[in-house]
Amino acid sequence: MNEKSCDTRCPISTSLGLLVLRVVAGLFLATHGWAKFHDPSMKSQHFDMVSKMNLPAPTVLAWAAIVAELVGGVLLALGFLTRFWALLILCVMGVAVFKVHWKDGYKGMEMAALYGGIAVAFLLGGAGRLSVDGLLFGRGKKNEETPLEDSTEKF
């Protein structure tokens, strides 16, 4: 993991903010995935919609979207493998914006664009220190001193 990522070096206040955003966005996203997984009518509607997109392997992609929303949402909330799940969520939300909601304008694509933007933020910045990623991959880095490039003073 990059030693300058927020998983290891950001202030605790930033990590608290990321924690709140991860939990809220992740759990709300997981409820979307749960509805598509659990409710037979929503599952049928979801699979029909994906099959009409003219994408390869629509059944596989429909299941991938459900997994990205349900499992990815829960693991985003926990901050576990955050960048991986953020990438998958971003892909799903990109398809939702450009293939499903684009014709509906701003109001139609608002939620997918919002989740996509949140995914971009976690993809680029990481989960923060208060996350499973921070606990697993950030050990020891917060107390280490950053070595200077040159021992002479720079003006």
Which residue, among 6, 2, 30, 9, has the nearest Cα to 115 in the 3D structure?
30
pLDDT value for 88? 98
Q: What is the DSSP letter of 99?
A: I
Domain coordinates in residue numbering, the chain: 12-137
pTM confidence score = 0.84
pLDDT value for 148? 44
pLDDT value for 8? 65
CA 92 to CA 115: how far, in whole Å?
10
pLDDT value for 51? 95
pLDDT value for 96? 94
Kindly give the confidence (pLDDT) of every residue in the chain, 155 residues in length, as a single tens digit, with 9 standing for 90 and above: 555 566 667 788 999 999 999 999 999 999 999 999 999 999 999 999 999 999 999 999 999 999 999 999 999 999 999 999 999 999 999 999 999 999 898 889 999 999 999 999 999 999 999 999 999 987 655 444 444 444 454 54
> What is the DSSP track for 114-147?
HHHHHHHHHHHH-S-SSSHHHHHH-TTTTTSPPP
CA 92 to CA 96: how far, in whole Å?
6
